[in-house]
Structure 1
Amino acid sequence: MTAEHITAEELQNLDEAKVSVNEHVLGTKKLYIESYGCQMNFADSEVVASILRTNGYSTTANLEEADLVLLNTCAIRDNAEQKVRHRLSALNKNKKANPGLKIGVLGCMAERLKTKFLEEEKMVDLVVGPDAYRDLPNLLQEVESGHKAVNVFLSREETYADISPIRLDSNGVSAFISIMRGCDNMCSFCVVPYTRGRERSRDPHSIYDEAKGLFEQGYKEVTLLGQNVDSYKWSSETEKYNFANLLEKVASIHPDLRVRFSTSHPKDITDEVLHTIKKYDNICNYIHLPAQSGSSRILSLMNRTYSREWYLERIHKIREVLGEDCGVSHDMIAGFCTETEEDHQQTLSLMDEVVFDYGYMFFYSERPGTPAAKNLKDDVSLEDKKRRVNEIIDKQRQHSAIKNQMSVGKVFRVLIEGESKKSREDFAGRNDQNKVIVFPRKTYKKGDYVNVFVNSCTSGTLIGEIVD
């Protein structure tokens, strides 16, 4: 499972579509693209927009003027797939009114459900997997000729390193950079290795150049993305890079370029990475470390390859090296196969021991084709799953309130990302620990760094004012 975690507020919007903005590049045709699920999908949509721009498409946020509609999909949970299906049904009504409209599905669902989409349900014109976006112009030519088109080939080399993404949903301050693709971990519940293929890492010099170019364009923050960033590795005859080396390379671009990353796997995050974070003030003091369960028995069935004790040792090391103020968040799955009430209580007790800043919590939904679906029985009732995940959510709300209250009375350096969602008179941004802070805007502007004194909080947001 891949986490989606930019701010605590975005937890409420998980799996909702993000629609491309109007692009200031003229094209003869209009592309409307929606992205669902993880940050990798949003980053991939920016690659797709770039590829299609060179073939005469500009992006639009107005569905009515679109010639081509693409849904970049997520297959992590059944709920995400159902949302896409409902969206496709609605879009097909648009197609009846506009027969020239072309509809395509990209990403993880495309690979998994290509036959259903194209042949059985006849909902789309083209289906394109995450490693086949370069083939989109050819596939669209097939569609224009009256044929259905599909390419879901999984590559062992494709990283799109040479493509400059179009920043569709960017605030002009923060941007995503994909550093690797695919996953080799084979967690028993997860469909990602089957929909995104094996791990392969981008050339570090292309990552550096992209980050440096963004900073020169005025961006102040980059987030390095991968299904498991800690397993990043790249080598040539003269060089060798691991994730710690890459992190240092990007951080060295400029002290005012803030660096985040996502996601870390507990089995792979190294002391070297932690010491690199400590060495550079512009690498954010925050780590998303998915636990998935607090029970070693369940972790073994999930094939997470670590135990509860290993996970807690990594938490201890994070706080030993980076201090108690380091922000730590989690993913947690309730109701995995054979989970007992005792296993569930171990998850709650793990949360009590760690006291996470925030988290992303789901109940287990079986994904066809995964080892869990083939070899384990999904025997926890839906009623118990929902109760357990609600108990986890309630626990996390309590802990988020505790952690936020600990920030009251402190001053944090904040990058202004834009207006608050609730008031144009306030700005919002995140601190080093990835917590949203809202404060009066005064005479500052988006993209400025400011020092903010936190004077109050809710369980999800810090509230403060700018101080000199």
Structure 2
Amino acid sequence: MDRKQVILSPEETGRQREYEQKIRALHQGRGRTPLALVDTFGCQQNVADSQHIMGMLRAMGCEFTRDADRADIIVLNTCAIRDHAEKRVFGNLGALTHTKKKNPDQIICLCGCMAQRPEIAEKVRTSYRHVDLVFGPQAMWKFPELLYRVYTRRGRVFSVEDESGTIAEGMPIVREGHTRAWVSIMYGCNNFCSYCIVPYVRGRERSRDMDKIVAEVRELADQGFKEITLLGQNVNSYGKDLEPRHDFADLLRELDKLDGDFLLRFMSSQPKDASFKLFDTMAQSRHVAHQLHLPVQSGCDRVLRAMNRPYDRARYLELINYARKVMPDLVLTSDIIIGFPGETEAEAMETVGLVRQVEFDALFTFIFSPRPGTPAAKMDDPVPRAEKQKWFDTLCATQNDISARLHARYVGKTLRCLVDGETDDARWPLSGRTAGGRLVHLVGDKSALGQYRDIKITDSNTWALFGEMV
């Protein structure tokens, strides 16, 4: 991919800042501050994108609300990974007909991965005529220009062209809170797993320049953020399009040189691009958490080939064994799909066997959901959903037993945790995270919110730890 075409020029991004000021002037002419609502579905990359959308809206003079009836602008940032998420979005879009009827000047925007799919954009065009603006992830950087067209042309605007994708630096951002931050290090995907829609809606892999990432993380560390998560559809493939060539481990080494009391996390990773060099870098770093989310998806080699996952069970185990060798305290999580088209019960139990062998700390588990436009959606899938549910239940019961047993090992230990939230449970009014990302419900002073504290673990269950501040 030609980097000159990927990196947007300062003139192109600067033009969007001019549109923000034009819209700000329109808002000021109306004599009141407009309210915007941004609703996010899906992954952390969507969360990061929404923070940029909020940044642009604030630059346009908007403040924010969670009340759709009060909002002048509503943005639904959508996910296309699961059918359930799409149904939720269409349910929300249907409900917005009532807010639009009360306030005909309300502007409703649909964006994100779901909006990029041609059949979804056409469905919105014909059946959800109250939606004013539809744009995909590749067009997010020009949101101010698209919104200005909605304001001035008084017509519906669609920007869902099939594009390989770009990188826009310097977009404004509104970060929620002052404890955790998301930093996108790359965009797009080249893997084309047979079940996944992401490469079709987010374009090809393109990496941000290392100096831009380092500068952003340095600024966040200087501002006192305690956890910074590096994002990409496959962070392990970072740098393949850069000249001179840098890989993800090189980036981590540079970031680890920064001063500050903060942890670096990253997601998501592809086993085909994971390396011993990466694990050595993690083990030697001051800032990088000993936490690894490495999606295996299946423990059956035949199913992995059908998924177009270019590794096998033996290679995955080799990676895990090495990572645990250099990081004995590693917290390991993964993704698994049960019921892939053509999968048999015996093959599903191979996956359960892998889970028993590896002993993940936690899993994100899914029953296969066909995504229109992907090869897997066209595969013969004779096994009924009820049968897949039985396999899924066996998988979940197996993992729950493992998680409960691994969590019980923390009891009696004192761990350095980031206290990051309040709960509705009077017994455990605060929550935090261990360095390995394990959830802790705890007792302590609210003044510790946003800070690291030593927590003595007093109890545990399948999903969480419980403790008190030392």
TM-score normalised by length of structure 2 = 0.89
- In the aligned structure 1, how far is the partner of 2:167 from the partner of 2:283? 29
1:191 to 147, 172, 197: 197
Contact 1:132–1:154 under 8 Å retained in 2: no
Does 2:390 match 1:390? no
1:371 to 354, 375, 378: 375
Contact 1:104–1:125 under 8 Å retained in 2: yes
Does 2:440 match 1:434? no
Q: Where do residues 391-430 of structure 1 align in structure 2 (5 Å cutoff)?
A: 391-423=394-426, 426-430=429-433
Give 3-state SS (helix, strand or coil) of 1:459's partner. coil
Paired position in structure 1 for 2:159? 151
Q: 2:319 is matched by which residue type in structure 1?
A: R
Instruction: Select between 376-385 and 225-234 the one with higher mean Cα deviation.
Output: 376-385
Paired position in structure 1 for 2:455? 452
Q: 2:194 is matched by which residue type in structure 1?
A: S
Give 3-state SS (helix, strand or coil) of 2:333's partner. strand
- In the aligned structure 2, how far is the partner of 1:275 from the partner of 1:420? 37
- In the aligned structure 1, how far is the partner of 2:178 from the partner of 2:313? 40
Paired position in structure 1 for 2:362? 358
Deviations 1:36-90 (A, max 9, x none): 0100001000111122322333322232221111100000011110110111111
- In the aligned structure 2, how far is the partner of 1:114 from the partner of 1:419? 39
Paired position in structure 2 for 1:126? 133
Deviations 1:423-460 (A, max 9, x none): 38632211111101122213742122111121210111
Paired position in structure 2 for 1:138? 145
Deviations 1:14-54 (A, max 9, x none): xxxxxxxxxxxx98322111000100001000111122322
- In the aligned structure 2, how far is the partner of 1:463 from the partner of 1:439? 6
- In the aligned structure 2, how far is the partner of 1:157 from the partner of 1:94? 34
| Structural RMSD (CA) | 1.8
Change (3 A) 1:210 1:106: same
Paired position in structure 1 for 2:339? 335
- In the aligned structure 1, how far is the partner of 2:84 from the partner of 2:167? 28
Higher relative contact order (CA 8 A, sep 6+): 1
Instruction: Select between 421-430 and 289-298 the one with higher mean Cα deviation.
Output: 421-430
Paired position in structure 2 for 1:243? 248
The Cα of 1:157 is off from its aligned counterpart by: 5.1
The Cα of 1:164 is off from its aligned counterpart by: 3.7
Q: 1:181 is matched by which residue type in structure 2?
A: Y
More helix by share: 2
Q: Which runs of 5+ in 2 are unaligned?
A: 1-27
Does 2:277 match 1:272? yes
- In the aligned structure 2, how far is the partner of 1:57 from the partner of 1:71? 16
Paired position in structure 1 for 2:179? 173
Instruction: Select between 227-236 and 376-385 the one with higher mean Cα deviation.
Output: 227-236
Change (3 A) 1:433 1:292: same
- In the aligned structure 1, how far is the partner of 2:420 from the partner of 2:387? 40
- In the aligned structure 2, how far is the partner of 1:255 from the partner of 1:53? 29
Give 3-state SS (helix, strand or coil) of 1:131's partner. helix
Give 3-state SS (helix, strand or coil) of 2:466's partner. strand
2:97 to 82, 89, 92: 92
- In the aligned structure 2, how far is the partner of 1:424 from the partner of 1:164? 40
Paired position in structure 2 for 1:42? 47
Paired position in structure 1 for 2:259? 254
1:208 to 209, 214, 222: 214
1:314 to 296, 313, 319: 319
Contact 2:270–2:294 under 8 Å retained in 1: yes
Change (3 A) 1:32 1:442: closer
Greater gyration radius:
2
Contact 2:138–2:165 under 8 Å retained in 1: no
1:286 to 286, 291, 298: 291
Q: 2:221 is matched by which residue type in structure 1?
A: F
- In the aligned structure 1, how far is the partner of 2:166 from the partner of 2:174? 18
The Cα of 1:255 is off from its aligned counterpart by: 4.7
Number of aligned residue pairs: give it. 437
Q: 2:346 is matched by which residue type in structure 1?
A: E
Change (3 A) 1:158 1:421: farther
- In the aligned structure 1, how far is the partner of 2:140 from the partner of 2:332? 34
Q: Which runs of 5+ in 1 are unaligned?
A: 1-25
